[in-house]
Every structure is written in structure tokens, then in C-alpha cells.
A = this chain, B = another copy of it.
Amino acid sequence: MPILNIALIEGRSNEQKEALIKEVTDACVRALDVKPETVRILLQDIATQDFGVAGESVRAKRERQA
């Protein structure tokens, strides 16, 4: 532990994902005083039609505001 699930709007580059894994692992090490190898992170890409806020998907909102 800790085990982290991170849901992201899809489209991030592998470099951004690598930076996120590194930064978040270091944040856990500092805050929880754990070893880096105990920190496991799962990233989950979410398509814009699969993420809804206030009753509307991000996709529909972007199309409406385009």
C-alpha cells in the first residue's frame, strides 16, 4: 500500500503519465513515510463521452460550446 486509482480524461501523452506516476509516488512517500516500491498506481483513461458533470457528458458540453 498505498494503491491509487487515477481516472483521467483521455489524451495525455506517455510522458505526462510518466511524470504523474513519479510525482504522485513521491507525494505519497513524503506524506505517508512509505517506501516508493510500496506505492502502486493504476491510470484509467476516460473518454469525454464517458465522463459526466451536472447531467451532461464532457463531450456534449464541448460540442455545445464549440
B51–A41 contact, CB under 8 A?
yes
A51 and B18 contact, CB distance less than 8 A? no
Question: In the complex the two chains form, is B54's CB within 8 Å of A39's CB?
Answer: yes
Are the C-beta atoms of B4 and A3 separated by less than 8 Å? no
Known: A45-B50, A49-B14, A49-B17. Is A40-B5 also a contact (CB below 8 A)? no
Q: Which residue of B lies closest to A38 (CB)?
A: B54
Contact call A8/B2, Cβ cutoff below 8 A: yes
- Please name all residues of chain B whose beta carbon is closer than 8 Å to the beta carbon of A45 when the two chains form the complex: 50
**CB-CB < 8 A to A16: which residues of B?**
31-32
List residues of chain A with CB under 8 Å of any chain B CB: 1-9, 12, 14, 16-28, 30-32, 36-37, 39-46, 49-57, 59-60
